[in-house]
Amino acid sequence: MKQLNPFTGASLDRSLMTQTASNQALLKKLSEAVEKGDEDVATLAAKEALSKGVDAADAIENGLTRGITAVGDRWARGDAFITEVMLSASALKAGLQVLEPALKSRGGVRRTLGQVLLGTVQGDIHDIGKAIVGAMLTAAGFEIRDLGVDIPPEKFVEEVRKAKPDIIGLSSLITASMPGQKKVIEALQQAGLRDRVKIIIGGAPVTEAYAKEIGADAYGEDAFDAVKKTKTLVG
């Protein structure tokens, strides 16, 4: 059954209108799951979106990403606690675990600004700050490869050779582990790989002066500053 578009006068297929409305509802469901930090709902909504024919890239960009962006905006205004951001970041990852493989299997390509290799340096097992930065960078359009925590310099060198990232993000949340950031840069220099990547560092005890001292390309004061600086590094 068809009806006329009130703006163009063209004929509209009601089934198509219903499908579009259904897709929009699913995108909203994905966004809200991330905003609420609900991993289970994010996973189920992502699977439902794929089963209903929603494009995986659309589900990521107009579903998951909108949710994490909204949370990030709330955090910037001081309206969200760090625990809420962490839960939302986990929900984002849960949804991506469903959608990204589907995107690749269908020959789709997610538009990205570049690939960022993240890791908390050796001697430090703190993950919260890095996870938030990763979530914000994902929302900003970057592809993230997160190595985890307590990562030795050799592992960063190995991953730069293998994955060829555009940028490395080095996190240090305690003063004792800060030298680990410098060791990664030195290891990349010794391996002849330093010129292949840009390096941004951050963490509670880290400063702009320290970043310059050890030869990093940028310093991220917080997650939002890290996103801004990372965008600058990729031009």
Share of the chain above pLDDT 70, in %: 90
Matching CATH number, 18-105, of 3.30.565.10, 1.10.1200.10, 1.10.1240.10, 2.120.10.30:
1.10.1240.10
What is the arithmetic mean of pLDDT over 102-111? 76
Instruction: Render pLDDT for 3-37 as a digit per residue (tens, 0 to 9).
Output: 433 333 444 455 444 557 889 999 999 999 999 99
- Out of 99-103, 159-163, 175-179, 182-186, least confident range: 99-103
**What per-residue confidence (pLDDT) applies to 179?**
98
Write down the pLDDT at residue 109.
65
Q: How far is CA 35 from CA 44, 47, 56, 65, 231, in A?
A: 15, 18, 19, 10, 24
Domain ranges of the chain: 18-105, 115-233
What pLDDT shows up at residue 108? 66
> 2-4 and 198-202: which strand pairing?
unpaired
Lay out the sheet containing 218-220: strands in order across.
143-146, 115-120, 167-171, 198-202, 218-220
Say yes or no to pLDDT of 118 above 50: yes
Query: Which residue, 92, 230, 96, is CA-closest to 167?
Result: 230
Say what the pLDDT of residue 6 is.
36
What interhelical angle do 14-36 and 82-105 show, nearest 10?
140
For the chain, what is the mean pLDDT?
89
- pLDDT, position 82: 82
CATH topology of domain 115-233: Rossmann fold (3.40.50)
Tell me whether domains 18-105 and 115-233 share a fold.
no
Distances (CA, A) of 164 to 156, 198, 207: 11, 11, 27
Nearest to 44 by CA among 24, 62, 59, 58: 59
Q: Where does the pLDDT of residue 160 fall: very low under 50, low under 70, confident under 90, or very high at 90 and above?
A: very high
Distance, in Å, from the CA atom of 203 to the CA atom of 219, rounded to the nearest integer, reads 9
- What is this structure's pTM? 0.74
Quick one: which of 119, 51, 127, 65 has its CA closest to 96? 65
Torsion of CA 151, 153, 159, 162, to 10 degrees: -150
pLDDT for res 19: 57
Q: What is the pLDDT of residue 4?
A: 39
Each residue's pLDDT tens digit, 189-229: 999 999 999 999 999 999 999 999 999 999 999 888 999 99
Instruction: Please give the backbone phi and psi of residue 39, each rounded to the nearest 5 degrees, phi first.
Output: -60, -45
